[in-house]
Structure 1
């Protein structure tokens, strides 16, 4: 690997010659700007505003733009006289536990390569000291015209250094978290834990850049004059109306994707009663109408109940009247029969007297 910086690690009175090499590399696909009409390259030229002519890199220096827009030239000689003791030295200033470093501060990563045979012994000493202490070294160094902060740690048999942002370069998370009061229930936490357990761990070596692979296929197809392959669009998630239902579905989907049977714990969590649909369904706009209809139905039912006994009473009254009429008719008939018998007896008596 090609070194980008040569210097030494200052470890108390011990000096370790090292070379700084990049620990990471970018695999991103880069593009060139072209003229869409004829495919010609679009290039940027460095032109002096005063002379209105293109200048070479040898003619270009540094300058600081002041608040009023004026440019203050800064030469390499000016920079060389700056009091930076770390210009060619990675100066270790402290050893701290690794968890003291906020991941937000971590920047680019480098490997520190021992600079020749004389550096092998002190390099190994520092590496083993870091291993045994379970700590990381905090150091200051200068790179690309500025002093930086770094963290040294052991990676395999090598020492790696992560560039760190200065503490005042990390923004506070103000206004980022939700401002509304939210209550998380225990059942929701149980489902979240079940989902985390179901997804489990992953070997980072198995992860790959699908976008880059698709881009390479696209470029290869166009270079061969073929039709670019169709890339399936990613499924978009629907609107989450019920967090519990979404968590339960996520747990089931994760288990199915792994071809695993749910454990007793997860089955118990999945069988938690879901919230009623009426809680998640949108409110109906005709709520008043439904209430009125219910009231009318109730009134009709009440009226029907009241009417039924009246009909029964009417029937009973009619029956009683008919019975009374029949009784009266029978009495009248009996009286008429008695009257006829009396009249017949009187007539017979008169005939005998005559």
Structure 2
């Protein structure tokens, strides 16, 4: 690691063992910062510090700390006052416990630091603490003072160094009240199985492969503007449709993830597309159906229609049977008359 300026010098208190250390930042920001400018002429906008009493600008060397009391009066606090605070952690990282790492809520995580051994005499106790942490599979909980306040920290091993994560005090972490949806929702086993399948298909990733694409795009814009060129245009964002069917969305996501990894052929994608096309029209027709005013009314209407249809069918069947029996009886009567009555003879014409 390149030499980094330490931001705090002190010692780790490990029981009766004292380990001189230097605190250095473990992270760095790569974000691009902007300056405020006057739009009319491009001049820099700066903030100047003025004294309210004298109404004049003052330098950083003339600025100190002060505490504003309830009545508005200012009580000056000097660095010497802070150095005499009755705290054992003023220049010491005091280890108070060793706990399993999973006991620490990630919500408490704050800034990260490396603890560097403060010279050759610190090498032996530093290595002892590092190896003890490794073998125990635990992390050390410590208290320390930094930038005018006492803080909580967690010590753990990173490669061959000891790192310290600043922790928020438990009362500084808000409870998630009112965050979860208050609508009652039921998730079935099939939906969970598809979600598990999607998680398995997406798999893991090497975090070292991830990078800040926004910063890279911003650098391209700045470079183009500096060269007097037109900044590159942003690509069209992918259009995301509304989720009409959670199951269909999960199935499509699993299929797309498999296809991107080469685990599924074109046939599976076509079958999924067909399945989605069959589902969507059903949802659209259901939406186009006019809304019924009351469920009871629609049920009564449907029942009446069904009853009317059955009654009409019964009447039609009865009338059909009645007409059939009448025609049969008429046929029988006609046959009987024909057989009983004598045959009429045609009279001959007389000649004069």
TM-score (normalised: structure 2): 0.81
1:284 counterpart residue number: 289
After TM superposition, the structure 1 stretch with the greater mean CA deviation from structure 2, 85-94 or 228-237, is 228-237
Structure 2: which 5+ runs fail to align? none
1:39 to 38, 42, 61: 42
Q: Within 1, Cα distance between the matches of 2:256 and 2:144?
A: 49
* Structure 2 residue 240 is matched with structure 1 residue 208: no
Structure 2 counterparts to residues 1-354 of structure 1, below 5 A:
1-261=4-264, 278=282, 281-282=286-287, 284-285=289-290, 295=305, 298=309, 302=313, 305=316, 309=320, 316=327, 320=331, 333-334=344-345, 337=347
SS of 1:91 mapped into structure 2: strand
Aligned partners of 2:83 and 2:90 also within 8 Å: no
Q: Within 1, Cα distance between the matches of 2:291 and 2:157?
A: 68
Q: Within 2, Cα distance between the matches of 1:169 and 1:84?
A: 21
After TM superposition, the structure 1 stretch with the greater mean CA deviation from structure 2, 196-205 or 177-186, is 177-186
Structure 1: which 5+ runs fail to align? 345-354
RMSD: 3.8
1:305-339 deviation per Cα after TM superposition (whole angstroms, max 9, x unaligned)? 5699399759958x959968x959x95732x54xx
Aligned partners of 1:214 and 1:231 also within 8 Å: no
Larger Rg: 1
**Structure 2 CA distance for partners of 1:98 and 1:286, relative to 1, 3 Å:** closer
**Structure 2 CA distance for partners of 1:286 and 1:114, relative to 1, 3 Å:** closer
Aligned partners of 1:198 and 1:251 also within 8 Å: yes
Aligned partners of 2:139 and 2:156 also within 8 Å: yes
1:351 counterpart residue number: none
Aligned partners of 1:148 and 1:165 also within 8 Å: yes
SS of 1:3 mapped into structure 2: coil
After TM superposition, the structure 1 stretch with the greater mean CA deviation from structure 2, 77-86 or 222-231, is 77-86
Q: Within 2, Cα distance between the matches of 1:236 and 1:69?
A: 56
**Structure 2 CA distance for partners of 1:286 and 1:100, relative to 1, 3 Å:** closer
Deviation at 1:50, TM superposition (A): 2.5
Q: Within 2, Cα distance between the matches of 1:2 and 1:233?
A: 44
After TM superposition, the structure 1 stretch with the greater mean CA deviation from structure 2, 66-75 or 243-252, is 66-75
Aligned partners of 1:111 and 1:159 also within 8 Å: yes
1:172-216 deviation per Cα after TM superposition (whole angstroms, max 9, x unaligned)? 111111223222111111001100000000000011111001001
1:29-56 deviation per Cα after TM superposition (whole angstroms, max 9, x unaligned)? 1000011111111111111222222111
Deviation at 1:75, TM superposition (A): 2.5
1:133-163 deviation per Cα after TM superposition (whole angstroms, max 9, x unaligned)? 1111111111111111111111001111101
Q: Within 1, Cα distance between the matches of 2:86 and 2:32?
A: 41
TM-score (normalised: structure 1): 0.81
Deviation at 1:303, TM superposition (A): 9.7
SS of 1:282 mapped into structure 2: helix
SS of 1:78 mapped into structure 2: helix
After TM superposition, the structure 1 stretch with the greater mean CA deviation from structure 2, 61-70 or 77-86, is 61-70
1:349 counterpart residue number: none
SS of 2:344 mapped into structure 1: helix
How many residues matched? 331
